[in-house]
Amino acid sequence: MTDVRDLPQNFEEYQEARKSGFMRVKEYCENGGHLVGYLCAYTPLEIIEAGGISAVGLCGTSNETVADAEQVLPQNLCPLIKSTFGFAYSDKCPYTYFAEMIIGETTCDGKKKMFELLNDIKETHVLQLPQSQKRSYAGDIWYEECKLLKEKLEEKFHVEITDEKLREAVKMRNKIREVELELANLQQAVPPVMKSTQAAMAMQQSTFVFSPSEQLANLRKLVDDAKDNYYNKGERPVSEKAKRILMTGCPSFGVLNKVSKTIEENGGTIVCPDDCSGERTRAMMIDENAPDILRAISDRYLQISCSVMSDNDARLTHLEEMVEKYKVEGVVDVVLHACHTFNIEGERVRRKCAELGIPYMKLVTDYAPSDSGQIATRISAFIEML
């Protein structure tokens, strides 16, 4: 195991931006800050934050570390899994490197087996997620998993996670979710308030902080700036004629340039990013006055709709609502290579779009630049047809 206070051996070879990232996280840890990494929307952040521990999302979104990962993992695996593992394997991500523990979950097969190997590099606690929300005992299973996580954190970090602290953490996370929803709702305007790539980058960057209150302040400023300082003063970063796209499927930050930017360059704009970090997840609040606060937290997270659940009807219901709310003209379904759950569920999404009379296009891709030309041609033809 790595000593979390030492810089990696190849630190001097890194470029300045990466070096300063390492120094920032190192300083946080040296000042007594605790850091854990997580990889999925099902991770109950309030439990971590109630322990005074920072939680940082570590999902790999870069092709840079895929080759590193392929020294250990099979090539025919989702790029998100390979990229995430590659960052841990190569010591290139400061957050992964300094995290004292990683929290994984049994969502898809690729991830849950990767965690066994990740645990050789960094202690990985795996949450056992039920495969359906609908069984009568599913809520109890997930509650027990959340309780186990709480006990694990208490033991490892020598903290006590009381109900009172959980309620405070819930209040803060609810506030963050409210602002994130405000940000999402800005895009209902015609034309939308922000470019989709700008909104996605801002959302992503807002999570790389060490305290939820800092994240809240960053998001608040982002929403107020976009609305009051630009849009309400007449700035229109997106053309009124831009075709309004709902983008669904796998987490897509790793294909921001290849897909999202290409949509913008070809006369489209993503008004509704409908993945697990989109509106359907953000809108799920927790009752801060619930009699059993841990149960309220576990119940909220279990209801998240993802293709790893069988069935995942809630995604289709939500899609229908979003198509209307965001005045959507076309649906783009992004499936990362070797992601069987989203790939197969794509057929149900296609059928739902046909029922709604909305054009649908599925893009199966990864983080490598090799298919960029082909993707651009398909996107351009799709938007042209809308």
| Contact status: 78 vs ligand SF4 (CB under 6 A) | yes
| Contact status: 251 vs ligand SF4 (CB under 6 A) | yes
| Contact status: 47 vs ligand SF4 (CB under 6 A) | no
63 and 367 Cβ atoms separated by less than 8 Å: yes
Residue 303 CB, nearest approach to ligand SF4 (Å):
12
| Contact status: 42 vs ligand SF4 (CB under 6 A) | yes
Applying CB under 6 A, the site for ligand SF4 has a residue count of 20
Contacts with ligand SF4 in 155-214 (CB under 6 A)? none
The one among 118, 222, 296, 308 contacting ligand SF4 by CB under 6 A: 308
Contact string (CB under 6 A) for ligand SF4, positions 109-128, x = contact: -xx-----------------
Extract the tokens encoding 330: 């076309």
Contacts with ligand SF4 in 211-250 (CB under 6 A)? 250
Residue 291 CB, nearest approach to ligand SF4 (Å):
28
Give residue for tokens 């849009």. 231
Residue 233 CB, nearest approach to ligand SF4 (Å):
36
Residue 186 CB, nearest approach to ligand SF4 (Å):
23
246 and 240 Cβ atoms separated by less than 8 Å: no
| Contact status: 41 vs ligand SF4 (CB under 6 A) | yes
Q: Residue 246 pairs with which residues in a beta bridge?
A: 272, 331
Contacts with ligand SF4 in 326-345 (CB under 6 A)? 336, 339, 341-342
Cβ closest to ligand SF4, residue 81 vs residue 103: 81
The one among 50, 183, 306, 328 contacting ligand SF4 by CB under 6 A: 306
167 and 297 Cβ atoms separated by less than 8 Å: no
Residue 42 CB, nearest approach to ligand SF4 (Å):
6
Cβ closest to ligand SF4, residue 44 vs residue 192: 44
The one among 50, 56, 58, 81 contacting ligand SF4 by CB under 6 A: 81
Extract the tokens encoding 383: 């938007």
Residue 342 CB, nearest approach to ligand SF4 (Å):
5
Interface positions with ligand SF4 (CB under 6 A): 40-42, 78, 80-81, 107-108, 110-111, 250-251, 276, 304, 306, 308, 336, 339, 341-342
